[in-house]
Structure 1
Amino acid sequence: MGHTCGVSSGKLVGRVQVTMDLGLSQIRPSVFQNGWMKLGSESEKTTAKLHLTVKTEPDPRFVFQFGGEPECSPVVFQIQGNIRQPVFSCKFSADRSRSRSLPQDFSNKNRGWMRTFSGEKERQGRERKGWMIMIHDLSGSPVAAASMITPFVPSPGSDRVSRSNPGAWLILRPNGFSIRSWKPWGRLEAWRERGPIDGLGYKFELVTENSSNNGIPIAEATMSVKKGGQFCIDKRVSSNSFAMSFRSPVKGFVVGATVEGEGKISKSVVQVGMQHVTCMADAALFISLSALIDLSMDACQLFSSKLRKELCHDYDNDSFFLNPI
């Protein structure tokens, strides 16, 4: 019908058919077609031809699933066929005390990333702040963390978080073996989009040692608030800067996570490209990023809506970094 490759109208010239055996692509790269092909059947009197290359290559992935919604501090399972094995646990906190939202070591050394959060006077009125999530491995060691560094607040005269004043999260990874020493890995901004489709807008960027206060843009998109959607980073179609962080020269799928719409129970399925995981701590960073996309759906709810109790309670964070569960 011509509705492909950005073409909205046109005349159908012809069709080609290529037979593929996808089983081979799980083992090694395969080329199924490389050359000219006649458009249409042999009986048709046409001279139109198409030069077509069709190839596949292995793209192995780890598959994880949250055992519940991130704010309920769920277990995260690794899925291998019919086997579900617990590999991580999440600890969610809704402590509204800013001084305890991030580890002291990080707060003292990374003032630049905290400028919009700690450098302002206490906001008056409504705001959602202090949310944090910690990812632990099976031994109880923290392997990733994420904290809300800019509160989610409604724009003046509105009931929604606007694009001009988004809320923001910072994802942290351990810096060495101390549970009190962390370094930034990624920054996620989220807001509520206006328009014909009510959407969750988000922007994710990597934080590198050389990026100062400016990160490396990786992904920016909008997801339906009502239906949810798929959060995805793919180096084949997005920034190659991701290779800079993971020391991987190969392109390919990086991460994808399902997100349910507003008000629906979400147990996200997360897929992570194996070539981007050198240890389980790498996978934990993607797990925390997926949790933040889900939590942003709640943080960007209209302020006339009531949040579930797990997102409103203030928890005691005194033992959050000292005695991870």
Structure 2
Amino acid sequence: MNPQAFIRLSIGSLGLRVPGITLNGAKSGRSALSFPCVREIRLRGFPVQTAIIPLVSSPETTPDANNIASSFYLQESDLKALLAPGCLLKHHACLEIVVFTGHNESHFGIGIKRQHIGTFKLEVVPEWGNERPVILFNGWIHIGKNKWLNGIAGAELHLRVKLDPDPRYIFQFEDKTKLSPQIIQLQGTIKQPIFSCKFSQDGVSPRDPLSNFWSSSFDGSELDIGKREERMESAFITTPFVPSTGCDWVARSNPGAWLIVRSDVCRPESWHPWGKLEAWRERGIRDSICCRFHLITEGHELGDLLMSEILISAEKGGEFYIDTDKQARAASSPMHSPRGSGDFAAVSLAAGCFVMSCRVQGEGKCSKPLVQLVMRHVTCVEDVGIFVALAAAVDLSRSMQALPQKA
């Protein structure tokens, strides 16, 4: 089972140093900059990523190299698109980090424009596709065309830009999840059956929610990762998807829930709880389905770990993912990163990375979920199966959230 090539472009260790400006806003010179500063990280074809950039006052201080501010994940087709000249460009695309002072805001109805401090550019080159770790830049650099800004010596930006190979396995459901489809691996134009699965829904009954389940089994195809004996990974409904009191949709106060379980290596008839997925509908101008996933860590001092909480458009669908880098920057509570493959419950608080994603369609559409799983979390077929079971639970949660049709 060969993975597809992906690379992770990470930008971290960010800091801004401006002579005459200290952390508390004290200054020297004829005018001041408005802090905090904001940086936009741009790469053609990807959404702009925006966040606060810290101010560094001491010349001897170096920002933490492990602090990742942004990450981009590129597959072969993305790199080819970036290397192709744009319609008005003679050169390849660039990674751009644009630094501004303050935020866009208004005062007494009058708009106040943020001020551009400077821009760092790094051209995309074919060597990015060599599939080996490389540090593209690390250190301080003057940004902007001028060495002086508002009478203050020009700003310096510190950053660390690194490329790492990050291969992934890609799987797709051949039909609707409720129709117990085969799960195939996509390798370019090759489609290889990997799992067969079964979905059972004996009504959505509060009396016996565990009668509703989804399970997968390895179909015996030739793979080159670890064990080949057949096992099953399953997802059971533990809390039925029923409307909350006074409304006709599954609300946050009483979400539906799935228990994701994996078989015991020594005793295939035994099950171990692995994760819990809760889902409910968020009402608004455009309804969303919220999927919240906890990793079950029995006996761990931190208790069950929140790994993902994602809003998916009810109408258009979207992507559920576990990406501890991305979510740590967006979440108010800390997100944790799994350390290793089969023992996914082992947690490394320092690391952050993409783990998996599952793309689903909106309500009323044939979803056929597309699942991406990073290779470093796969040591055996069972590791793939447990994430496929999670993806199935996400898709079934989406389909079970549909509002009843009016007569």
The reply on whether 1:266 has 2:362 as its aligned counterpart is no
Residues 11-50 of structure 1: matches in 2 within 5 Å?
Answer: 11-21=115-125, 23-24=127-128, 27-41=131-145, 47-50=154-157
Please report how far the alpha carbon of residue 66 of structure 1 lies from its aligned counterpart in structure 2 after TM superposition: 1.1
Q: 2:214 aligns with which of 124, 133, 146?
A: 133
Question: In structure 2, what is the equivalent of residue 256 of structure 1?
Answer: 357
Any unmatched runs of 5+ in structure 1?
99-116, 307-325
The reply on whether 1:88 has 2:169 as its aligned counterpart is no
Residues 222-237 of structure 1: matches in 2 within 5 Å?
Answer: 222-237=311-326
**1:61/1:273 contact within 8 Å kept:** yes
Question: In structure 2, what is the equivalent of residue 318 of structure 1?
Answer: none
Residues 147-186 of structure 1: matches in 2 within 5 Å?
Answer: 147-186=236-275
Q: 1:5 aligns with which of 51, 67, 77?
A: 51
Identity %: 39
Any unmatched runs of 5+ in structure 2?
1-37, 41-49, 53-101, 105-113, 221-228, 329-334
Whose helix proportion is higher, 1 or 2?
A: 1
**Cα distance in 2, alignment partners of residues 59 and 18 from structure 1:** 21
* Greater displacement, 88-97 / 65-74: 88-97
Question: In structure 1, what is the equivalent of residue 385 of structure 2?
Answer: 284
Whose strand proportion is higher, 1 or 2?
A: 2
TM-score by length of 1: 0.76
Residues 204-238 of structure 1 show CA distances to partners (whole Å, capped at 9, x for unaligned) of 111233269x6322111211111111111113244
**1:248/1:275 contact within 8 Å kept:** no
Please report how far the alpha carbon of residue 38 of structure 1 lies from its aligned counterpart in structure 2 after TM superposition: 2.9
Pairwise CA RMSD of aligned residues?
2.9
**Cα distance in 1, alignment partners of residues 127 and 193 from structure 2:** 29
Question: In structure 1, what is the equivalent of residue 171 of structure 2?
Answer: 64
Please report how far the alpha carbon of residue 80 of structure 1 lies from its aligned counterpart in structure 2 after TM superposition: 1.6
Residues 257-290 of structure 1 show CA distances to partners (whole Å, capped at 9, x for unaligned) of 1111111111111111111111110111101101
TM-score by length of 2: 0.62
Please report how far the alpha carbon of residue 13 of structure 1 lies from its aligned counterpart in structure 2 after TM superposition: 2.1
**1:25/1:56 contact within 8 Å kept:** no
Secondary structure class of the residue paired with 1:95: coil
**Cα distance in 2, alignment partners of residues 132 and 248 from structure 1:** 28
State the number of aligned residues.
278
Structure 1 pair 5–305 and aligned structure 2 pair: CA distance change class (3 A): farther
Structure 1 pair 16–216 and aligned structure 2 pair: CA distance change class (3 A): closer
What letter is aligned with 2:235?
A
* Greater displacement, 222-231 / 234-243: 234-243
Choose 1 or 2 for highest CA Rg: 2
Question: In structure 2, what is the equivalent of residue 293 of structure 1?
Answer: 394
What letter is aligned with 1:176?
V
Please report how far the alpha carbon of residue 301 of structure 1 lies from its aligned counterpart in structure 2 after TM superposition: 1.3
Secondary structure class of the residue paired with 1:5: strand
**Cα distance in 1, alignment partners of residues 406 and 298 from structure 2:** 39
**Cα distance in 1, alignment partners of residues 352 and 103 from structure 2:** 30
Please report how far the alpha carbon of residue 8 of structure 1 lies from its aligned counterpart in structure 2 after TM superposition: 4.8
* Greater displacement, 55-64 / 174-183: 174-183
Higher relative contact order (CA 8 A, sep 6+): 1
